[in-house]
Amino acid sequence: MSNFDERPLTVSRWALLGAFLLGASVPLAFAPFEVFPLAVLAPALWFLLLRDTAPAVALRRGFAFGLGMFGAGVSWVYISIHYFGHSPLPAALGVMLLLVAYMSVFPAALAYVGARRRVHGARVFLLLLPAGWALAEWLRSWLFTGFAWLNLGYTQIDSPLAGYAPVLGVYGVSWLTALSAGLLAWALSTAGRARWLGPVLLALLWLGGAQLKHYAWTQVAGAPLRVSLIQGNIPQDEKWDPAQQVATLEKYLNLTRGEWSEQGRERLDLVIWPETAIPAFQHQVADNFLAPLTEEARRVGTDLLTGIPVLDRERWEYYNAVIGIGQDEGAYYKHHLVPFGEYLPLRKILGTLLQVMPLPVADFSAGKLGQPLVRAAGYPVGISICYEIIFGEEIIAQLPQAAFLVNVSNDAWFGDSLAPHQHLEMARMRALETGRYLLRATNTGITAIIGPDGTLRERGPQFETTVVRGSIEPRKGSTPYVRWGNWPVVIGATLVVPVAVFRRARPH
């Protein structure tokens, strides 16, 4: 009798472990592994584990799935905090675990709602779970300043579902990826017409995406531009060392002069240096470095964009910025700052706890949204710095005016982890959503030129000093996503979830 009583508990534990392992397999669908079918198969099997469960059981299985997915996918956070932020290992691991637990709340809540409202069959597989997943990702992108990492749609950047990205954005692709999982789960869990209808609908969904991939949403707006992206590969522990400042500046200058003096090539239009490539405030190097660099750039007819900290000495605020040098000049101040990296939330309460950026005095200040676009190589440019590239709704605020996109970053903070590959994958999605070339210059990699279809046109190696060269075309026009943003997906998911959980009262 005791063995009989223990059996349900044993099954439940195995199911909990299964949910965790399924979640842990999902990061294999993201870069650098890119096994994109896992983003459909793993959630489909997790959906089946939620079938006909009590609310408490569903909650635990949803949380376990999240722990596996985010624990495996964002474990690199402790590297940034511990190895480069110099926080004690227990504190770094604690922050990472808190972040993973927070992100796991979203799939747990979704699973709980379905079980609590007793949503079954097609309603749970085709309505609640897919729409709820997309809505949860969107909520996660802005709650508490937002952490829009590991959105399911990014896994499909090379799959047929990528065709929907210029129309619906990454959250729409996430919805369709989860819907694909729901169709598979529905077909596996029911008899009758679902056995064949589910695969038929799945095939139609993916064929539709494949057809959309052939459609050009934007048009060429000018002659090709020759660009060079400089990857200085400055170690993070040397980057802000005053003794290394001259060597760093000379390295970038010599690499750039090599591009200007190269014989047998057409004129170079644009050079881009990474985030904070100049490890000093703008006013500190204005006369002895920036002024002669500007004259030299004008003489050879090339514009240059570089990351640099800028100090406003009237307000005593400093910014993470990109400035233009050469024929066109201007500045972009980073708007979406990294919490605990570029500023400390609740500073009055937390003091200096976990402040990891090795810059003096105070937090970075945020630039305004909707800043005038910087011009480079004769065109307005949509600029983003590091973390900002993961927020599609902020990138499209610079469109359709921007002829191409530029993202500068210092992914040395991530070390040799999954994060630089995931970061590049998200940049590829921004190019695809907007129908624009995207130039990504980073300190240690991954520096790349991305086409308006999201494909990698040129890519440099990690942790090497290199120059990535190529040609791009300025483009004009708007994709549906640029015009509508995330609102079609958000409104649609917000309407679908209540429809899925609503149950008509039966007459007595």
pLDDT tens profile 198-224: 999 999 999 999 999 999 999 999 999
Q: How far apart are alpha carbons 178 and 195 in whole angstroms?
A: 18
Q: What pLDDT, on the 0 to 100 scale, is given for residue 116?
A: 87
- In the chain, the domains with their CATH numbers are 7-216+486-501 (no CATH), 221-476 (3.60.110.10)
State how far the alpha carbon of 439 is from the alpha carbons of 259, 387, 451, 455, 459, in Å.
17, 15, 9, 12, 10
- Distance from the first to the final alpha carbon of the chain: 40
- Give yes or no for a cis peptide into 130 (omega within 30° of 0): no
191 contacts: CB under 8 Å, gap ≥ 6:
none
* Crossing angle of the two packed helices 194-212 and 165-189, in degrees rounded to 10: 160
Please state, in angstroms and rounded to a whole number, the distance separating the CA atoms of residues 216 and 213: 8
Active site residues: 275, 334, 386
Contact residues for 192 (Cβ-Cβ < 8 A; gap 6+):
none
DSSP 101-149: HHHHHHHHHHHHHHHHTT--HHIIIIIIHHHHHHHHHHHHTTGGG----
Q: What is the pLDDT of residues 271-293, one digit of tens each?
A: 999 999 999 999 999 999 999 99
**What type of residue sits at position 172?**
G
Dihedral angle at the C-alpha atoms of 441, 445, 446, 452, nearest 10 degrees? Answer: 0
State the pLDDT at residue 345.
Answer: 53
Classified as helix, coil or strand, 37 is: coil
Q: Is 52 left (phi over 0), alpha (psi -120 to 50) or beta?
A: left
Task: Specify which residues 200 forms β-bridges with.
Answer: none
450, β-bridge pairs: 438, 456
User: What integer pLDDT is reported at residue 102 of this predicted model?
Assistant: 94
Rounded average pLDDT per 10-residue block, the chain, 508 residues? 54 88 97 96 96 92 97 87 74 86 95 87 91 96 87 97 98 98 93 85 96 95 96 88 91 93 74 94 92 93 94 84 91 81 51 42 72 95 94 95 96 88 97 98 95 97 96 97 97 93 57
Say whether the peptide bond before residue 446 is cis (omega within 30 degrees of 0).
yes
What pTM did the predictor assign?
Answer: 0.91
Judge contact between 153 and 473, C-beta under 8 A: no
Length of the chain: 508
Query: What residue has token string 């985030």?
Result: 275
